[in-house]
Amino acid sequence: MATSSLSVLPHGYRRHSHGVFLLLLFLWQQQLLWSSAGATQLNHSLIDQLNISIPALFVFGDSTVDPGNNNYLPTAFKGNFPPYGLSFSNHIPSGRFTDGKLATDFLVSYLGIKELVPPYLDFTLGVHDLLTGVSFASAGSGYDPLTAQSTSVLPVNQQLNYMKDCLARMESAVGKARAAKIMEESIFLVSAGTNDFVISYFLFPLRRRTFNLEQYQLFIIDQLQVFIKGLYDLGARRILFAGLPPLGCLPIEMTINFANAVLRQCIDSLNLVAVSYNSKLQHMLNKVKESELKDANIVYADIYEPLLDAIKNPNKYGFKQTNVGCCGTGLLEFGLLCNPNTLVCADPSTYVFWDAIHPTQRTYSLIADALIQRVLHLIL
């Protein structure tokens, strides 16, 4: 995509639309993130055939992989109240921004490590929890330091600092040699970037004054490259990086794009932003892997195509609703607007989205399936 085509806001993304939405955001406690009743039964044949044991899964990123770290932060970006957690056993809201499990929960279960990835900030965690993997992710975060600052959550670089603390605790418990072995053999999954574009670039004007769109994409890529080196220096050797989802298909983006609010179709220009960024991300990962960190296995994880396929071909997956969320009207509700007084659809597993931004547990299970079938063998 040419630079000139990326130097302006996507078609239909009017500045006055964001002015109105900004007002709504403050009135509704500012919560903007991307992040089924039935979980798929995953086939363990790959792990069994390769006779591989993965000791832990460590996770970094935003609401797509935050299991509840924000519960322990002074931020409005929380999902630790009903109806969040509706599809969990006992319907307990954990802090995950969905009705049940995240893709990382399905993945850690498939790997035979444990059933769920816990939040690192949970003070009740024991040594075994750390040795088998935790999530440092924080809903509302991103690679751009301004993103986390605007939402009062953990920036990605702070998540890396917590990984350093975690490693020190692991070394204290089992010794440096075993801790280093765990780091070398574990999978590190990173999922962020959506908030950088949705919030820090399109919603607030500060970054647009400094960067055109392509320049901002490259700025984010540079931030991510520093993060990769930080993980590598801690001993990580198996690293998965998730790309951006189809941004223009998020229900809330359809709503705030006034020209498309009634038709409720995916906004192609926003999806092209994600496609362009994902291409740059893959190029950078390949370059780093081939030239700088040759003994590391760094793999791109495509979440764009699996999610877009579910949206474009709902009958293939048993979905009935693809352009609104299950919670409330499905047009704007998320975070505090999706609360105990909000009406909820009868069957979340028939919806691609749980709220106006985040996928349902059912959708996350499909994303996990895609990662297992298309990506996992590349990193083992």
In this prediction, residue 166 carries a pLDDT of: 98
Q: What is the pLDDT of residues 299-335, one digit of tens each?
A: 999 999 999 999 999 999 999 999 999 999 999 999 9
Average pLDDT, the chain: 88
Q: Give the strands of the sheet with 238-242, arranged side by side.
A: 57-61, 187-191, 238-242, 297-301
| DSSP strand pairing (187-191 vs 238-242) | parallel
CATH top class, domain 17-28+41-308: alpha beta
CB 189 within 8 A of CB 104: yes
Residue 36: both structure tokens together: 């089924």
Q: What is the pLDDT of residues 7-52, one digit of tens each?
A: 445 544 444 444 444 434 433 443 333 333 333 444 455 666 666 7
Residue 363: both structure tokens together: 């959708």
Q: What is the pLDDT of residues 346-367, one digit of tens each?
A: 999 999 999 999 999 999 999 9
Model confidence pTM above 0.95: no
Annotated catalytic residue 53: no
Annotated catalytic residue 63: yes
The Cα–Cα gap between 92 and 361 comes to 14
In the set 62, 129, 355, 369, the catalytic residue is 355
* Strand (E) or helix (H) holding 58: strand 57-61
Instruction: Give the up-direction half-sphere exposure of residue 248: CA atoms within 13 A in the CB hemisphere.
Output: 18
Instruction: Give the up-direction half-sphere exposure of residue 260: CA atoms within 13 A in the CB hemisphere.
Output: 25
Q: What is the pLDDT of residues 89-105, one digit of tens each?
A: 889 999 999 999 999 99
List the end-to-end C-alpha distance of the chain, in Å, as a whole number. Answer: 33
Residue 28: both structure tokens together: 């509704």
In the set 99, 109, 138, 358, the catalytic residue is 358
Please enumerate in sequence order all residues whose Cβ is within 8 A of that of 67, keeping only pairs 6 or more positions apart, or say none: 94, 95, 96, 102, 104, 105, 116, 117, 118, 119, 135, 137
In the set 63, 141, 186, 365, the catalytic residue is 63
